[in-house]
Structure formats: C-alpha cells, structure tokens
Amino acid sequence: MRTLIIPLTTLTTATTLLAQQPTPSPGVRYDRLLIRNALVIDGAGNPTRGPFDIVVEGSTIASIRPHRADANIRADRVIDATGMHVMPGIIDLHGHIMFSRNREPLPKDYVYKLWLGHGITTIREPGSGEGIDTVVHHARLSAENRIAAPTIIPYAVPGGTTPEQGRASVRRLKERGAMGLKVFVLRPDVWEAVMDEAHKLEFPVATDMKIQEYDALDAARLGVRTIEHWYGIPDAAIPGPQDFPEAYNYDNELDRFRWAGDLWRQADPDRLSSVLDTMLAHNVSWDPTLAVYEVNRDLVRAQNLPWFDAYAMPNLLAFFEPDPSRHGSYHFEWTTNDEVMWRENYQIWMKWVREYAARGGNVTVGSDAGFMYHLYGFGTIRELEFHREAGFHPIEVIQHATWNGAKALGLATTGVVRPGFEADLLVVDGNPLHNLKVLYGTGVTVEENGRMVRRGGVRFTIKDGIVFDAPALLEEVKQMVRQAKQRTAAP
C-alpha cells in the first residue's frame, strides 16, 4: 500500500474549493398548524377572499373557513396573519442550483435560502449542472426536511451524438433519479430518438432550443412539455433563415445575444399565429423567462440593483462582469442601439406571450437566475413584474407563478390554496395584487401615519407543511455575504 502524500498547497486549495455544506433545516412541520385571519389569493385565478382561518395538518391543507375571532381551533402552532395575504408557494420552472460561480464556491445553501426567503417552494432544476446524483440527493434531503430548500424537481440533459447513444443516455438518467429531461441543440435523428425513448419512460421534456435545425413546430410535434425562453418560436415563423449580419457567429456570445434581440421583429405575424396554434394543440407550456434578459434593455439598471450589496456573493458579481470566456457575460460592448433594439424586441415578444395565454396556452414563471445580473429569489419576483408588464392582470401573474407551474410539472395537488392540496403556502406582509414588489426580500417602504416604514416581504414560507421564517433565512444569506466579503478583504 502506498502512502499518498498531498502537498500542503494542494490540500489548502482543495479545502477552500469545497463549498460549505448546507446547515440543518430550521423548518418545522406541525400536526396542526393554524393560520388565522388571512386574506387568501388562491392561485387558481379567483379574486381575493377572506378573512379565513386555514388549518394545515402535517403537509396537507385540511380546512379553510371564514375567520371567527371567538373560534376555538386547536393547533400546535398559530400564525396570526391579520393584515396579511396568503397565496400558494411560488413554482420557479427555471431554477439552476449552483454551488460555485467564477470558479469559487458558494455556500451550498446560499441559493436555496434566497429562494425560500422569496416564497419559492418548488423549483424545477433545468439541467442539473451540479450533477444529477447530487441534485437527486439534495431533492431527497429537502423532501425529508434535512436541508432548508424548496421542493426540487431534477431534470437532466441527455448526451450522445447518435440515436442509440441518445436513447441509452435517457435510460441512464431515469435510473439515476432524474424526473425529466432538458434538451438543447441536437441532430434531428438524435432528437427523434431521445423523444421516443422519453415517451416510453414517461419522461417530461423541456427544451431550450437555441438555434438549430429544429424549431418550436418540431418541438411541439415531438411532444415537448415546455419551451424555455423563446428560442425556436420566432425562428419557426421567419421565412427563410434568421437574417443575421454577415459577420455573425453564433459561438461569439456578444453576437449571439445581441442579434437574438432582432428575431421577434423578423418573424411573420401570420406564421407566428399558426406556430402558437400548433404549440397549443400539443399542450406545450411556455416558460418565457422574460426578466433574465432585462440587462439587454437597460444595462446600467441591471448592474446597480439595490439588493446586490447585502445579498450578492462577491464571486457571483464577478461572474457577471463582461468576459468572453463566460456564458452570458457578453456586455463588453453594449450600445444604445442594442438597448433600443431589445426594448422593441420585448414589446413584440410580450405581445405573443399574452396572445398564447389568451388562446388558452399555459404560461409559467421561470427565473434562470445566476446569469446576467439576475439574482436567485429576487430574479423570480422580477419575472412576476415582467408578466405584469406584458399586460397580465396581477391575479393572472400569481396564477402563472403557482397553479400554471404545477400544471406544467404535472403536479395535481399543489399551486392552489385549497383543502386537500399540499400546504405550499406563503404568508405575505402586504398585498401582491396591489404591488408585486412586496414579495421582494428587501420589501417596500410605505408611508404610515406620516412616517416612512419598511413593510413587505414574505413573512413565512410554508413548504409541504414545513414552516420557515423567511426573514431569518434571508438574514443568514446576508451573513454569508458579509463573511465572504471579509474573506475577500483579508490580506
């Protein structure tokens, strides 16, 4: 047997790179939890009702009754929701779990606590970049309340350059516990094989199509469950190829993101209309992730968000800085003309998202945070504001973030505040229908009796009946950021 001698320098580096493990969950599930005197936004599109008393037994909503001050309801824990709103937990369909940025570790519960602190009770992991085994493991730890994290639904990316390899890869991912697939650019024959195998194994498929031979019409025909971002939709409605400048190179990140802002304008409206009908006929959900591209219409805003100071890890901010070697960090030259082009692009894009919903299409909320100045948790709430900007009623916006997400994921008993449903609930200080900003962890400043006071924020995030003190989780995040800054500042 040989003794392994590791040089001290390597050992130190290895220890530094080992991201801090998640701490044990502080959340508690009660036999009987009573949420008293709450106004309820149900998530299914109905107007606010209440005040109600909500009883949760274990992980299930047991009853919802009109509030009576003199009612004697037995409970192990009472949350007084007087003046507060209860809504379903938010489902983020595009939540990348990240344990490092800029080749430096993030504490492993940094992202989770930002999510829970913003009322996100379920995330679909679109790709499991940290490794499918790790993500499946964390999904289990979260389900067992051993870590403070949303419910995690791991999707994974199949590999292979031949149809047979593609099929084998899909089977392997199923065995390893993936709950769905995320498909990027594939050769048409590999696409067909992967989708065929996915259907045999009853695997739902999400696609981020980028630019390839196939477009949204093919995705719909092949039975894709969700289309991420917008890729493939305008492309399917452009007569001929995308009209990019002659020097365009897709593998140049600046070219790629800059000229993506011209595609909705190039699409023919009549053709777009029939592309949407095809998506609708095949029951495709559209997860537009509008807000992650906001940097393209207003770079200075994106770079100066008020929550960066307290909540953004230094290595995350460093990752966002322009650098051709990093994905999504392409703002080394971003001009007035680019921003104007993107603003126009947004108007057309939003119009078609609204049109899809108007025809009965399922529109969902996904953040894609961790890229392009888009912070976990905060980015999801910003996505809700973008849906509002797209012209949706606030009630519809909440529905996109809750019940529509559940439908896209095939979750029949969450996303609505309803007896018999899972207790994925938020107690919010304020009325998100009046102002979606009350959902931000930083809250809002309002005038009360002639004085300015801080209000808002999610007060409690209840995931599967487990009660989390949301501000306390966000305080822990602030602590992580303070410590990281001290380390960075240390000589």
Q: Which is nearer to Zn ion, 109 or 368 (CB)?
A: 368
Over the window 455 to 474, marking each residue x when it contacts Zn ion by CB under 5 A and - when it does not, the resulting string is --------------------
The CB-of-126 to Zn ion minimum distance in angstroms stands at: 5
How far, in Å, CA of 412 to CA of 405, rounded? Answer: 10
How far, in Å, CA of 491 to CA of 483, rounded? Answer: 14
Q: Which is nearer to Zn ion, 123 or 416 (CB)?
A: 123
Q: Which is nearer to Zn ion, 25 or 296 (CB)?
A: 296
The CB-of-234 to Zn ion minimum distance in angstroms stands at: 19
Q: Which among 73-81, 160-168, 234-242, 361-369 is the span making contact with Zn ion, rule CB under 5 A?
A: 361-369
Q: Which among 49-57, 80-88, 181-189, 360-368 is the span making contact with Zn ion, rule CB under 5 A?
A: 360-368
Interface residue with Zn ion, options 218, 235, 253, 368 (CB under 5 A):
368
How far, in Å, CA of 320 to CA of 304, rounded? Answer: 12
Tell me, what amino acid is at 338? Answer: D
Q: Which among 22-30, 298-306, 362-370, 466-474 is the span making contact with Zn ion, rule CB under 5 A?
A: 362-370
Residues 6+ apart with CB under 8 A from 35: 53, 54, 55, 56, 78, 79, 81, 86, 425, 427
How far, in Å, CA of 439 to CA of 431, rounded? Answer: 9
The residue nearest Zn ion at its CB is 368
The CB-of-254 to Zn ion minimum distance in angstroms stands at: 19
Q: What is the three-class DSSP state of 182?
A: strand
Give me the count of residues in the chain: 491
CB 415 within 8 A of CB 402: yes
Tell me, what amino acid is at 343? Answer: R
| Angle formed by the axes of helices 378-389 and 394-401, nearest 10° | 140
Q: Which is nearer to Zn ion, 356 or 371 (CB)?
A: 371
Q: Which is nearer to Zn ion, 184 or 250 (CB)?
A: 184
Q: What is the DSSP string of 225-265?
A: SEEESSTTTTGGGSSSS----TT--TTSHHHHHHHHTTHHH
Q: Which is nearer to Zn ion, 94 or 113 (CB)?
A: 94
Q: Which is nearer to Zn ion, 36 or 374 (CB)?
A: 374
The CB-of-228 to Zn ion minimum distance in angstroms stands at: 7
- What single DSSP character describes residue 374? -
Q: Which is nearer to Zn ion, 26 or 129 (CB)?
A: 129
The CB-of-292 to Zn ion minimum distance in angstroms stands at: 8
Q: Which is nearer to Zn ion, 368 or 464 (CB)?
A: 368
Q: Which among 306-314, 355-363, 368-376, 428-436 is the span making contact with Zn ion, rule CB under 5 A?
A: 368-376
Q: What is the three-class DSSP state of 180?
A: strand
Q: Which of 66, 76, 80 is nearest to 36 (CA)?
A: 80
The CB-of-289 to Zn ion minimum distance in angstroms stands at: 7
- 7 burial level (CB within 10 Å; 0-12, 13-18, 19+): exposed
The CB-of-368 to Zn ion minimum distance in angstroms stands at: 4
The CB-of-300 to Zn ion minimum distance in angstroms stands at: 24
The CB-of-141 to Zn ion minimum distance in angstroms stands at: 23
Q: Which among 5-13, 83-91, 277-285, 364-372 is the span making contact with Zn ion, rule CB under 5 A?
A: 364-372
Chain positions contacting Zn ion, by CB under 5 A: 368
